[in-house]
Amino acid sequence: MRVLVALSGGVDSSVAAAELVEQGHEVVAATMKLWGGESDTGCCSVGDVEDARRSAAQLGIDHHVFNYTEEFDRHVVAPYAADHAAGLTPNPCVECNRHLKFDLFMRRADLLGFDAIATGHHARIGRGAGGSLRIRRGADAAKDQSYVLHPLLDGPLERVLFPIGHLEKSEVRERAARLGLRTAAKPDSQDVCFITRRDGRRSFLAERIELHPGQVLDTEGGSVGSVDAVELVTIGQRRGLDLAGGGSRRFVTSVDVEGRVVTVGSEADLLVGHVTIGDVRLAHGIDPACIDGKDLAAQTSAHGAAQPARLSFHGAEPGTTVVRWRSPHRAVAPGQSVVVYDGDEVVASGVVSGT
């Protein structure tokens, strides 16, 4: 096959490219230049592009740079800021996968005559019950990235390859070292790629949206403190609230950005029995009737564990469903993705609209 591999300059994608070369594919690499500003790896990610270019050269494959900075700004960065202003908790990695890697990049690969694209994600693609293609968790549970890949669950999986999904991270590094790739010991990327550790989320958002101070109330409506930016507060948050008095641990149970009010309560106040998700999408070969009420598991953050849950489509608005937790679960912030697994297969996903 002719495969276009997305090479980020990190160890995972360079080993993914190496695997493809070893398998005998005709491989071309491309690095997406996504962010034009400062990042932890330097301005315009020039250092990452160089690592990608050198890895490609070591593997003997051609390497391109695709400039997607305007598209990244439009589809990922601007919505990230707008979501905060609207009191939502966005996941920019999900949006990047949705719009950049598995849309624009894939379309370009198609235009250029490639049969498939590949990335260095820790996830697998396999046949589910009934023979449909499904996204499955990566072999390394600690590094699994199937959660952020959920926009692809009903996409053209037959044209996507995750060549390192069957490997543990340590094996990936070993292979990189064995091949002498300069990425072998490069640290894993952390957090949001366009926000630097030095300046942080707050200063990034302050340049783009208006931040407002807010009151912090307890569940009885009594004032217990204040925050200087309600837009930065997320449900479930415990740290950084600067509350008066000691006592038991208090968590954010709700955020009202428009009313400039943050409510805190005990951990028990945070627990809910269900969550409603919108923009519901089902994996290939799944119809609501076959998973309604089935024992599944749902994951609400990239690094969290999936918890037992059932889906209930009955009575829900079209395009929405109710995720019923088997045991009470912490509330999930509006805007967050909920990914539903059957075993290690991604079967459904949605975005929290309200609890």
Instruction: Residue 180: name the closest of 39, 18, 330, 317 by CA.
Output: 18
Of residues 13-32, those binding other proteins (CB under 8 A): 31
Query: How many contiguous H segments (helices) and E segments (strands) does the chain have?
Result: 10, 17
60 contributes a contact to other proteins by CB under 8 A:
no
Cβ proximity to other proteins, 194 vs 251, nearer residue: 194
44 contributes a contact to other proteins by CB under 8 A:
yes
Among 58, 66, 241, 256, binds other proteins (CB under 8 A): 66
54 contributes a contact to other proteins by CB under 8 A:
no
Among 38, 71, 171, 174, binds other proteins (CB under 8 A): 71
Among 23, 57, 62, 308, binds other proteins (CB under 8 A): 62
64 contributes a contact to other proteins by CB under 8 A:
yes
Task: Give per-residue burial for 199-228: e unless 16+ CB within 10 Å, then b.
Answer: eeeeebbeeebebeebbbbbeeeeebbbbe
Cβ proximity to other proteins, 75 vs 124, nearer residue: 75
Rounded Cα distance between 282 and 271, Å, is 26
Of residues 80-139, those binding other proteins (CB under 8 A): 104, 107-108, 110-113
E runs forming strands in 197-303: 214-218, 223-227, 251-256, 261-265, 271-282, 296-299
Min dist CB 182 to other proteins, Å, is 17
Count of residues engaged in binding other proteins, rule: CB under 8 A: 23
Locus of tokens 């926009």:
151
53 contributes a contact to other proteins by CB under 8 A:
yes
Q: Cα-flanking dihedrals φ and ψ of residue 42, to 5°?
A: 105, 170
Tell me if residue 291 falls in helix, strand or coil.
Answer: helix
Rounded Cα distance between 11 and 30, Å, is 15
Q: Which residues are at the interface with other proteins (CB under 8 A)? A: 31, 33, 44-46, 49, 53, 62, 64-67, 69-71, 74, 104, 107-108, 110-113
